[in-house]
Chain A
């Protein structure tokens, strides 16, 4: 009995200790946060001659959350995401030591961010999207960056942010305070063109498609006529979204949707996921309109006929079959050479991937949906001692990015900590035209040297002859040096961006690109309703008319209320 009693006493003591340890921890945390805040306000107010590019006298440390792609092979031997040329450059130039609070692969990054927010265990700075930004502002987790932006943002970055006509700053201003640093991306990120294997077209004696009907014919030929010539029935006409991509880009994530059906929807004048102007002038949600039903009917037929990847929606990565040479067409923005295409042509130098502004609508016009100029944000944890450090890193990156982009083993954009894109809206189109003029000999590279906002253009025009071989007006893959370090960038511009330079884009924007209040609670479930039913309609497990039931459900379960809110915001 005695022993029993002692052991129970021991157990209880242990629990008490545990409890004490837990509460102790919380206590000290709060305390230190309190003192941090004081020092922060002192520093920002007392620091009069703020230098956007100045190095710290004593080395400071910043712990960030960073996306690290495990398949990114751009680092050299011995380098790590925290020890490479760019990170060392940050250390030398600014005296900032970058550390990782967490890293996550691209498909898990959002989840890690959510976890950090939910547990209130935040890195000093990280990149988030509009939904997380709103959540963090409401939870009072973010440092006020109004002063930091005023004093520390470099003139070049300010100029680009101002060029969005106030949209970028509006998105991060809450109660008159700037709570995050917005990016500003090229509009090309939001235009999803059709990438097609031109060598397959040539082999089967086909012309590039323009309408949806022609696109279907091409897809059918790609599936049935054995374009890769291996005698097996193993080719895919049109790729479909994998588990980390969407059927179409939506108003909250309006850019960079890979392997989606954006083009097929917009050729029907259907803009699912977008808030557009209805017949009476009031906002309506594109997913609930009859045009969307028509587009779904088209996709459903295509899937049933086997023209679309049978494993869409189930695949982990649709890019794999692009690289292995099984896919004939897929939808994606201009930068796909940074995605699967460079690997695909390395694997098979004959894979002549070209980009087209197709399909067109019934009037022969190209009517894709357009993106918001800003969609990702650098946020700084409330209480971090050096709230201006992330801004300095952004200034530094913008000023020096072009030096690293073309460097052999420079680490690549995937390894730049806190990388936000700063680009004038027409950056890619201007770059493409400039490169063409230099290739054609009508202008000299020097003519484009004095364009500071277009940070990569000087390098682009200087190196274009490394990657592009003669004849300079033929973009087929055999006229490129695919081993050149500037190949990826030059191919993205001269091939990837060519469709929107050569075609008139009659784009459709969304009325809003952020959440309204009742969306915070209701949107997730409405979105799930939509995603599930559309996927099933296309893949044939639900009848097409279940679309009507979806519209009713959507309206009843909060859609009507949200539509009213959107109307208030817009008007």
Chain B
């Protein structure tokens, strides 16, 4: 009896998510056909002429294709690494704080940027890093020449990764803190009696205690390796940094929506989806292998 009631709730709770998934992810999949067509918006997906693999041939001739795939992977992998290590270190440091009030307030403050959208943060960052902005004025104090940060292709990926980590690390810290509180305090007591130092405790108790969480977060992050963050890059980039900052999503947006090359945009999007599918399968397998995380 009890079990039945439970099940009903769960299915009902699942329903909105399912509907959302169906409308926004399953139905649009039919649009993949566009990649194989000479798409004519007046005639729609069903009546446009088929041209086979022509679009894909053109896609592989373009210099842009390898560049945007590399940029996407590079930025996304750096983000995964940054978003794993920075919050971990921060959580460990916060965990050592004795005043609960201070700990709580720091935790809340660093977690605030997570709630701001990139449209707003983009404007703020552009101002902070502007040619006559505060960062350059600070450099000027040390006698350094001002740098046009968002015009420098060599710096752009690092600005992107840095600002993303700054925005998100507070949120990830909370996950680690939750894992840290899950460690049995008796272990610390016992090792204290045995004369273990702080560093020893960290190495032998704390880190093993949150290993599963860290590995799980890393492995799940792999599924996002082809999502380098459209919102963020779209609000910050410009033609000067296309060579290192243009990712698949921004390229597809410009090609398909601004330049009306629907077929090409769809073909690149499809390639991304195929690569993404493979990577998610691999990350699921790894998650299962290392942490016994399973869906099915």
Hey, which chain A residues are within 8 Å of B23, CB to CB? 18
- Least Cβ–Cβ distance between A529 and chain B, in angstroms: 8
Hey, which chain B residues are within 8 Å of A119, CB to CB? 41
Asked if A20 CB lies within 8 Å of chain B CBs, one says: no
Decide if B41 touches A141 in the complex (CB within 8 Å).
yes
Decide if A138 touches B40 in the complex (CB within 8 Å).
yes
Hey, which chain A residues are within 8 Å of B130, CB to CB? 311
| C-alpha spacing A531/B132, complex, angstroms | 26
Stretch of B85-93, B234-242, B269-277 on the interface side: B234-242
Asked if B260 CB lies within 8 Å of chain A CBs, one says: yes
Interface centre among A314, A521, A535, A536 (most CB of B within 10 A): A314
Stretch of A72-80, A110-118, A201-209, A434-442 on the interface side: A110-118
Asked if A524 CB lies within 8 Å of chain B CBs, one says: yes
Asked if A569 CB lies within 8 Å of chain B CBs, one says: no
Asked if B284 CB lies within 8 Å of chain A CBs, one says: no
Hey, which chain A residues are within 8 Å of B262, CB to CB? 118
Asked if B288 CB lies within 8 Å of chain A CBs, one says: no
Decide if A140 touches B43 in the complex (CB within 8 Å).
yes
Decide if A535 touches B240 in the complex (CB within 8 Å).
yes
Scan residues 36-77 of chain B and give those whose CB is less than 8 A from a CB of chain A.
40-44, 58, 61-64
Asked if A47 CB lies within 8 Å of chain B CBs, one says: no
- Least Cβ–Cβ distance between B11 and chain A, in angstroms: 5
Number of interface residues of A (CB under 8 A): 43
Decide if B41 touches A118 in the complex (CB within 8 Å).
yes
Stretch of A3-11, A34-42, A186-194 on the interface side: A3-11
Given A11-B18, A541-B152 in contact, is the A524-B41 Cβ separation under 8 Å? no
Asked if B148 CB lies within 8 Å of chain A CBs, one says: yes
Hey, which chain A residues are within 8 Å of B243, CB to CB? 532
Hey, which chain A residues are within 8 Å of B196, CB to CB? none
Decide if A539 touches B151 in the complex (CB within 8 Å).
yes
Residue of A nearest to B130 (CB): A311
Residue of B nearest to A316 (CB): B126
Asked if B8 CB lies within 8 Å of chain A CBs, one says: yes
Q: Please pick, from B7, B64, B150, the residue contacting A525 in the complex, using a CB distance under 8 A.
A: B64
Interface string of B1-36 (1 = CB under 8 A from A): 000100110010001001100110001000000000
Asked if A451 CB lies within 8 Å of chain B CBs, one says: no
Decide if A15 touches B131 in the complex (CB within 8 Å).
no
Decide if B151 touches A314 in the complex (CB within 8 Å).
yes
Scan residues 109-168 of chain A and give those whose CB is less than 8 A from a CB of chain B.
110-111, 114-115, 117-120, 131-132, 135-136, 138-141
- Least Cβ–Cβ distance between B14 and chain A, in angstroms: 9
Residue of B nearest to A120 (CB): B41
Asked if A310 CB lies within 8 Å of chain B CBs, one says: yes
Decide if A114 touches B42 in the complex (CB within 8 Å).
no
Hey, which chain B residues are within 8 Å of A131, CB to CB? 260
| C-alpha spacing A531/B241, complex, angstroms | 12
Decide if B7 touches A314 in the complex (CB within 8 Å).
no
| C-alpha spacing A7/B23, complex, angstroms | 19
- Least Cβ–Cβ distance between B238 and chain A, in angstroms: 5
Q: Please pick, from A11, A118, A138, A313, the residue contacting B151 in the complex, using a CB distance under 8 A.
A: A313
Scan residues 219-262 of chain A and give those whose CB is less than 8 A from a CB of chain B.
234, 243
| C-alpha spacing A18/B259, complex, angstroms | 32
Asked if B256 CB lies within 8 Å of chain A CBs, one says: yes
Hey, which chain B residues are within 8 Å of A141, CB to CB? 41-42
Interface centre among B15, B42, B150, B259 (most CB of A within 10 A): B42
Asked if B255 CB lies within 8 Å of chain A CBs, one says: yes
Decide if B239 touches A535 in the complex (CB within 8 Å).
yes
- Least Cβ–Cβ distance between A15 and chain B, in angstroms: 6
Asked if A570 CB lies within 8 Å of chain B CBs, one says: no
Residue of B nearest to A382 (CB): B42
Q: Please pick, from B19, B238, B261, the residue contacting A521 in the complex, using a CB distance under 8 A.
A: B261
Decide if B42 touches A525 in the complex (CB within 8 Å).
no
- A-B pairs with beta carbons under 8 Å apart, 18 shown: A11-B18, A14-B19, A15-B22, A18-B22, A110-B258, A114-B257, A118-B256, A118-B260, A139-B42, A314-B151, A314-B238, A314-B240, A521-B58, A521-B261, A524-B259, A539-B240, A541-B240, A557-B61
Q: Which residues of A contact B (CB under 8 A)?
A: 3-4, 7, 11, 14-15, 18, 22, 110-111, 114-115, 117-120, 131-132, 135-136, 138-141, 234, 243, 310-311, 313-314, 316, 521, 524-525, 528, 531-532, 535-536, 539, 541, 553, 557
